[in-house]
A = this chain, B = another copy of it.
Amino acid sequence: MTTKKALRIGLIGCGFMGRTHSNGYLRVKNFFPELAYQPVLKAVCSRTESKARAFAEQWGYESVETDWKALIARDDIDAVDICTPNDKHAEIAIAAAAAGKMILCEKPLARTLRESADMVAAIEKAKVPNTVWYNYRRLPAVTLAKQIIDSGKLGRIFHYRANFLQDWTINANLPQGGEGLWRMDADVAGSGVLGDLLSHCIDTALWLNGSITTVSAVTETFVKERMHQLTGKVEKVNIDDACSFMCRFSNGSLGLFESTRYARGHKALYTFEINGEHASIRWDLHDLNRLEFFDNADASTLKGWRSIHVTDGDQPYMNKWWVPGLGIGYEHSFVHQVADFLKSLEDGSSCPPTFREAFETQKVCQAVQDSAATGTWKDTHAA
């Protein structure tokens, strides 16, 4: 038996994201066996004990907690993974940092820029390893896009556009808030599609194309009132059902972003495209193993968008999986983030995006929200 260092995980939250992260921890041993650190699933926390127990049984956590403060207080936990609804991120992260725990926090960092600032301050004071689960960066095709851009192949950048389109809330009878629906409750989520979907687009954009300086945004709530699951009453809907914005990047390029939960026919159409002087790139989450690439250096009569099936061993992360042509799925992005976090522990580097980096996304989100409220352009650093 090799002696691996254990990274003892305490997971807070048993929802959809609890599942994706747990799967991430469990797969690393099989697919990244060379890593010095390996996760040990020490405890999972949910306010409802039966729920915590069932989750622990299913995912192999050694113990359960019903109070997240108790989990943080445990000596046998190295890292706290925050998978709660957004309204708990700040409080838990700040407490965990104070307790000296490493932190892996689900995105968006928090509901507001204010909460986020407090979190960043706390974690930087505590000097603990940390990362935020903007998982899409680590899909192989997206990482390949980053490599192409970093290689300089695109030249000067002119345009960046991204959208994240869903259609699951068109039904006006869908209740808001409560179990499984907290994303529709502005008090809990902070915002609607802005924090849920656009924040992903912004994180990727900042990573691929640098900082955003100014934004002009618009939001809309198509269904104005919905029954709230917790109160049983029809209440005003306070989240943004749709949010779009135009922006300028500091590299001089123009950006265009859109997200909605009212685009009939799209389940999770997260696409981005970047147009440079010499080449362009585009990607679509629905076909996540493919990256499209146009290279103006190709022979004049033979230029065309290439559909790159990113499944070869020399493409990012793919030497860990199967053989060329055989695709992977959404969940693998989390496995890769776990692996990269573990690697960062080996060499003392950070595992991006850190809280500090996610704070930049938060600034753009705040500027978007302010712009939509006022109908004016907003500077992201005035936020």
Contacts from A to B (Cβ < 8 Å): 1-2, 16, 20, 22-23, 26, 29-30, 33, 57-60, 144, 147-148, 158-159, 161, 165-168, 170, 216-218, 220, 222, 242, 244-246, 248, 252, 254, 256, 258, 260, 262-269, 275-280, 285-296, 298, 300-309, 311-312, 314-315, 321-332, 375-377
Contacts and interface: CB of A to CB of B under 8 A. Distances in A.
Copies of this protein in the complex = 4
A302 B308 contact: yes
A375 B216 contact: yes
16 contacts: A167-B275, A216-B216, A222-B252, A245-B246, A260-B275, A263-B280, A265-B280, A266-B280, A285-B325, A285-B326, A289-B329, A291-B304, A304-B307, A326-B330, A329-B332, A375-B376
B265 A275 contact: yes
Among A264, A280, A309, A322, the one with the most B-chain Cβ atoms within 10 Å of its Cβ is: A264
Contacts of A26: 26, 30
B60 A326 contact: no
Contacts of A331: 321-322, 326, 328
Contacts of A314: 300-301
Nearest to A270: B325
Contacts of A326: 267-268, 285, 329-331
A276 B222 CA distance: 12
Given A159-B242, A216-B375, A268 B329 contact: no
A96 B60 CA distance: 32
B159 A216 contact: no
A312 B301 contact: yes
A220 B323 contact: no
A323 B58 contact: no
Nearest to A310: B301
Nearest to A258: B256
Given A168-B324, A254-B242, A306-B302, A2 B262 contact: no
B322 A20 contact: yes
A367 B349 CA distance: 50
Contacts of A327: 286-288, 327, 329-330
Contacts of A29: 58, 60
A287 B288 CA distance: 9
A305 B266 CA distance: 9
Contact of A267 (B161, B222, B309): B309
Given A263-B158, A264-B294, A375-B376, A57 B2 contact: yes
A303 B267 CA distance: 11
A280 B264 contact: yes
Contacts of A269: 325
B301 A315 contact: yes
Contacts of A332: 329
A267 B311 contact: yes
A376 B59 CA distance: 52
A235 to B, nearest CB: 21
A353 B337 CA distance: 37
A215 to B, nearest CB: 10
B60 A220 contact: no
B242 A218 contact: no
A264 B275 contact: yes
A54 to B, nearest CB: 8
Contacts of A2: 57
